[in-house]
Amino acid sequence: MAAFALMMAAELGLSLTVFHRSLSEHLSAYATISGAVGLIAQFAFGLLPYFQARPLTAVRTVHTAIYLVMTIATGYILYAAIAGWRGQLVWIAPPLLGVESVVFIGNGLKCPLTAIAVRYGAGKGPLFDSFLPERITRHTLEVFVPLILLGVSLLAVRWLTFGECSRWIWLC
């Protein structure tokens, strides 16, 4: 965490002295998507020494984070399709799910992080490759595949049928 604290202090110092921003301007930048992504990346970079000493914990943390992001992306696509929402994340969620699907299918319908977790000493059974309870992850394919297909289909119908495609010309 010392690395994270050092990076944050350096960023704040540069923001105040070189870019002449106030403290409130600096902190409000974290409320933007790019600011939040940068903050998360800095936090992850600060955790590298911790994870290097505990590779299985790193794999489980990454696996859990990916699972949660994919769950949020799936829910967001469904919400956007049903409610007609056109936020910034509408164009981020489908590619995220597409990449996840390609990786999953390309690995024989198995998550590649599971094999990495086993390589670092994870045993078989529940809770061995993520921090989520097995009752949540047990039926991932049966739950998420239909939801993703439904959400993407409804989103495509909305964009193509209701004339919203003109706003998303790169998708047409």
- Per the model's pLDDT, the better-predicted residue between 130 and 28 turns out to be 28
pTM over 0.95: no
Element at 54 (helix H, strand E): none
Q: Are residues 28 and 74 in the same domain?
A: no
pLDDT score recorded for residue 1: 64
pLDDT score recorded for residue 105: 92
pLDDT score recorded for residue 171: 46
Q: How distant, in Å, are the alpha carbons of 117, 118, 137, 153 from that of 158?
A: 40, 43, 30, 9
Distance CA 13, CA 111 (A): 42
pLDDT score recorded for residue 72: 93
Q: How distant, in Å, are the alpha carbons of 30, 93, 112, 137 from that of 62?
A: 22, 18, 12, 15
Q: Are residues 24 and 101 in the same domain?
A: no
Number of helices (H) and strands (E) in the chain: give both, helices first: 9, 0
Distance CA 8, CA 61 (A): 22
Distance CA 64, CA 62 (A): 5
What is the span of the domain harbouring residue 7?
Answer: 1-53
For range 128-146, the mean pLDDT: 83
Q: Are residues 83 and 165 in the same domain?
A: yes
Q: Are residues 76 and 136 in the same domain?
A: yes
Please say whether the dihedral angle defined by the alpha carbons of residues 47, 52, 58 and 59, taken in this order, is positive or negative: positive
Q: Are residues 74 and 137 in the same domain?
A: yes
Number of structural domains the chain divides into = 2
pLDDT score recorded for residue 99: 93
Q: Are residues 61 and 138 in the same domain?
A: yes
78-107 pLDDT, tens digit per residue, is 988 888 877 777 878 889 999 999 998 999
Q: Are residues 138 and 108 in the same domain?
A: yes
pLDDT above 60: residue 170? no
Q: Are residues 28 and 64 in the same domain?
A: no
For range 17-40, the mean pLDDT: 89
* Confidence class for position 46, pLDDT limits 50, 70, 90: confident
Q: Are residues 46 and 64 in the same domain?
A: no
Q: Are residues 114 and 94 in the same domain?
A: yes
Q: How distant, in Å, are the alpha carbons of 12, 39, 72, 78, 136 from that of 90?
A: 32, 22, 12, 10, 25
Distance CA 112, CA 118 (A): 10
3-25 pLDDT, tens digit per residue, is 778 888 988 999 999 999 999 99
> How deeply is 116 buried, as exposed, middle or buried, from its count of CB atoms within 10 A (0-12, 13-18, 19+)?
middle
49-86 pLDDT, tens digit per residue, is 778 888 888 888 888 999 999 999 999 999 888 888 77
Task: Compute the mean pLDDT over every residue in the chain, rounded to the nearest whole number.
Answer: 83
Q: Are residues 23 and 98 in the same domain?
A: no
Q: Are residues 154 and 169 in the same domain?
A: yes
